[in-house]
Chains A and B, each alone.
Chain A
Amino acid sequence: MNKPAMPNSFRTGPDEQGMFGIFGGRFVAETLMPLILDLEEKWNEARTDPAFRAELQALSTFYAGRPSKLYFAEGLTRYLGGAKIYFKREDLNHTGSHKINNCLGQILLAKRMGKTRIIAETGAGQHGVASATVAARFGLPCVVYMGATDVARQSPNVFRMKLLGAEVKPVSAGHGTLKDAMNEALRDWVTNVEDTYYLIGTAAGPHPYPEMVREFQSPIGTEARAQILEQEGRLPDVIIAAVGGGSNAIGLFHPFLDDKDVRIVGIEAGGRGLDGIEHCASMNAGRPGVLHGNRTYLLQNEDGQILDGHSISAGLDYPGVGPEHSWLRDTGRVDYVPVLDDEALEAFQLCTRTEGIIPALESAHAIAHAVKIAPSMGKDEVIVVNLSGRGDKDVHTVASMMGMEI
């Protein structure tokens, strides 16, 4: 495939049709089309409305705890003996991950649109918990679709959602992971169009979701950029984030896209290796296709049937990726590289022991890449890793991978 022309700025997309180059778009059933157009209109009004912005700002500060800290990971840096590693501490947000940023933005929009019922899909359960949290905060009923496999491997988050008053509906179709949960959420939405707001958790889906979610997650990068300038007096050499659907990554990356000296690396779930189908590295091993309302890189067979993929991390277990990442891949602005299950697991333990921080398995993929590259970098060089979430939810998975019972 030909490389698209290098744009003057990487920060202007999508176009009016919701396209990032050939990626993105609005590939949805007609029933949903009027809703998506309405959402786009209301979103465009809200984003420039000072009252909306002020309310979101206040909630971000006093409810979610923003700005999140940029932390110098001295223990890990010393252990690796190379570049200085900083963590953007999204794990310290209320609910324990970056997901709350997007949920606060969208629940305010749902309220503004007069919607009275929230639905969401979730993989690891982080977005489900964040959705259930904001639904509780604003007194709206919430239904969370979650793959049956994920319900089993993320039981603490399932219980959290229930405590928060959400109804968790396990989805057993397919492999029972994020893809299947998203199908079921779309079926719910197409049935309950009048009163229901679909709170998509990642920077994917039909336009305007990828753009909207990016905007709600961009404080990650905006803050990190200002914080590193303040703490190091310069921009980082490399920034790294894990990519499932890609919301924490696009949130970190977007404010840095036009800083051409900053290397940007997105980490895909390499699972058990890219040779077979037991991975979720859609941009390394997939090809462009159409699913869940957008065109993007997808794991699929030669007949265009979507494959299920595999990752140790439920949050990365998705055969697609947000469309803007696909475009950033093809333009060459961002490098997307795979990290294996085992490497993530090792980084998970290393971070826990050297920093006293238990990272989410998703974030451990990003840390694993820093572990690989930091030793060969100079001591005056700087890496920023997005620590997108805390790992308490993953201790059962990690224990069983380590052959322990807890």
Chain B
Amino acid sequence: MTETRIDRRMAKLKAEGRPALVTYFMGGDPDYDTSLSIMKALGRSGADVIELGMPFSDPMADGPAIQAAGLRSLKGGQTLVRTLQMAADFRRDDDDTPIVLMGYYNPIYIYGVERFLADAKASGIDGLIVVDLPPEMDEELCVPALRAGINFIRLATPTTDDKRLPKVLQNTSGFVYYVSMTGITGSALADTGKVAEAVRRIKQHTDLPVCVGFGVKTAEQARTIGASADGVVVGTAIVNAVANVLGPDGRRTADPAEAVATLVSGLAQGVRQARLAAAE
């Protein structure tokens, strides 16, 4: 398939010799305008790739933080149409930062796969992460997405053994998302030694960049994980930064976009020190 913004960004970072900071946020949380301002804040505070969360009523692989964010977003009126609109709005100011849509299959299935891919492409979407579509279901969305020129980024997990890895990697493009532990989003970080070993194992099977997520919350963790991985994914910490400034009565204690910018600037410093620290 043709080169996407993800491929270009990853190649550039490789040349710079540092890992990518991949940031997840929930589209539409707590409302469209605030969420768009958060997305823009991610772009200007050092996020190299943006994962735009598509809310779903039944997020089976997510922990309490992202579950709650999804509910806030749906309550705020977010739909898949509006999530695509958000990407298109973001693209007016930023045509370089890759955008990956992340979520579950049903809203896409109901939208209609071909129509979704056409609209996603037109909105400036570069990749998809769909949690409940394993390689066994590739004909549903993965193969059509590749045909449409959109990367399909697959999750590899600690339960994906050497025998299964080739199947998981077969139609993967953009990067491989290594889930650092068995569990839901927002759990505690896995042993960094084990993570490094898993990244090495995956790299024996593919030339794609390997980004590591699930459990990374601080700049220090981003630095440590980034020493061995091509990218570090942070999600729950960002979602929490938003939740923390939304008061229980809906009165905000600070600007959510600023809270996210502060966190992400720190994380961006973390990934920039990763290889320096490793070389010491």
Contact B136 A291 (CB under 8 A): no
CB distance from A401 to the nearest CB of B (A): 28
Give chain B residues whose Cβ lies under 8 Å from the Cβ of A35: 159
Interface flags for B12-54 (1: CB within 8 Å of A; 0: not) read 0000000000000000000000000000000000000000000
CB distance from B111 to the nearest CB of A (A): 7
Give chain B residues whose Cβ lies under 8 Å from the Cβ of A265: none
Q: Top 7 closest A-B pairs, CB basis?
A: A304-B110, A304-B107, A191-B183, A305-B57, A31-B157, A303-B79, A304-B106
Give chain A residues whose Cβ lies under 8 Å from the Cβ of B146: none
Identify the interface centre among A32, A35, A179, A300: most chain B CB within 10 Å of its CB: A32
Contact A33 B67 (CB under 8 A): no
CB-contact partner of B60 in A287, A292, A300, under 8 A: A292
Q: A187-B184, A190-B182, A190-B184 given as contacts; is B74 within 8 A of A30 (CB)?
A: no
Is B246's CB within 8 Å of the partner chain A? Answer: no
CB-contact partner of A302 in B58, B110, B136, B164, under 8 A: B110
For window 42-82 of B, CB contacts with A under 8 Å fall at: 55-63, 67, 74, 79-81
Contact B159 A193 (CB under 8 A): yes
Q: Which residue of B lies closest to A18 (CB)?
A: B136
Q: A187-B61, A191-B182, A305-B57 given as contacts; is B137 within 8 A of A26 (CB)?
A: yes
Contact A25 B137 (CB under 8 A): yes
CB distance from A41 to the nearest CB of B (A): 13
CB distance from B70 to the nearest CB of A (A): 10
Q: Interface of A with B (CB < 8 Å)?
A: 17, 25-35, 173-174, 179, 183, 186-187, 190-194, 287, 289-293, 295, 298, 300, 302-306
23 contacts between A and B (CB under 8 A): A17-B136, A25-B136, A25-B137, A26-B137, A28-B132, A29-B131, A29-B134, A30-B168, A31-B158, A32-B159, A174-B58, A190-B182, A190-B183, A191-B182, A289-B110, A290-B106, A291-B58, A303-B80, A303-B110, A304-B107, A304-B111, A305-B56, A306-B58
Q: Which residue of A lies closest to B67 (CB)?
A: A173
Q: What CA separation (Å) do A191 and B79 show in the bound complex? A: 29
Q: What CA separation (Å) do A110 and B239 show in the bound complex? A: 37
Q: Which residue of B lies closest to A191 (CB)?
A: B183
Contact A187 B60 (CB under 8 A): yes
Q: What CA separation (Å) do A17 and B139 show in the bound complex? A: 12
Give chain A residues whose Cβ lies under 8 Å from the Cβ of B160: 30, 33-34
CB-contact partner of B155 in A30, A186, A290, under 8 A: A30
Contact A300 B106 (CB under 8 A): yes
Identify the interface centre among B60, B105, B157: most chain A CB within 10 Å of its CB: B60
Q: Which residue of A lies closest to B133 (CB)?
A: A27
Interface flags for B157-194 (1: CB within 8 Å of A; 0: not) read 11111001000100000000001001110010000000
Total residues of chain B contacting the partner, CB 8 A:
44
Q: Which residue of A lies closest to B139 (CB)?
A: A17
Q: What CA separation (Å) do A25 and B160 show in the bound complex? A: 19
For window 130-164 of B, CB contacts with A under 8 Å fall at: 131-137, 154-161, 164
Q: What CA separation (Å) do A287 and B106 show in the bound complex? A: 11
CB distance from A168 to the nearest CB of B (A): 19
Q: What CA separation (Å) do A17 and B63 show in the bound complex? A: 29
Give chain A residues whose Cβ lies under 8 Å from the Cβ of B81: 303
Contact B74 A34 (CB under 8 A): no
Identify the interface centre among A34, A179, A298, A304: most chain B CB within 10 Å of its CB: A304
Identify the interface centre among B59, B80, B106, B183: most chain A CB within 10 Å of its CB: B106
Contact A290 B105 (CB under 8 A): yes
Q: What CA separation (Å) do A174 and B104 show in the bound complex? A: 17
Q: Kindly list 11 other residue pairs between chains A and B, CB separation below 8 angstroms, not including A27-B105, A304-B56.
A: A17-B136, A29-B60, A29-B61, A30-B168, A33-B136, A183-B58, A183-B60, A187-B61, A190-B184, A303-B81, A303-B110
Q: Which residue of A lies closest to B163 (CB)?
A: A34
Q: Which residue of B lies closest to A27 (CB)?
A: B132
Is B196's CB within 8 Å of the partner chain A? Answer: no
Q: What CA separation (Å) do A370 and B183 show in the bound complex? A: 46
CB distance from B163 to the nearest CB of A (A): 9
CB distance from B190 to the nearest CB of A (A): 12
CB-contact partner of A30 in B59, B134, B184, under 8 A: B134
Give chain B residues whose Cβ lies under 8 Å from the Cβ of A298: 106
Give chain A residues whose Cβ lies under 8 Å from the Cβ of B63: 187
Q: What CA separation (Å) do A26 and B159 show in the bound complex? A: 16
Q: A191-B187, A303-B80 given as contacts; is B182 within 8 A of A31 (CB)?
A: yes
Contact B106 A29 (CB under 8 A): no
Contact A33 B110 (CB under 8 A): no
Is B208's CB within 8 Å of the partner chain A? Answer: no
Q: Which residue of A lies closest to B155 (CB)?
A: A30
Is B263's CB within 8 Å of the partner chain A? Answer: no
Q: Which residue of A lies closest to B187 (CB)?
A: A191
Contact A31 B179 (CB under 8 A): yes
Identify the interface centre among A26, A30, A187, A304: most chain B CB within 10 Å of its CB: A30
Q: What CA separation (Å) do A26 and B137 show in the bound complex? A: 7
Contact B110 A34 (CB under 8 A): no
Contact B108 A304 (CB under 8 A): yes
Q: A300-B106, A302-B110, A306-B58 given as contacts; is B184 within 8 A of A33 (CB)?
A: no
Contact A305 B107 (CB under 8 A): yes
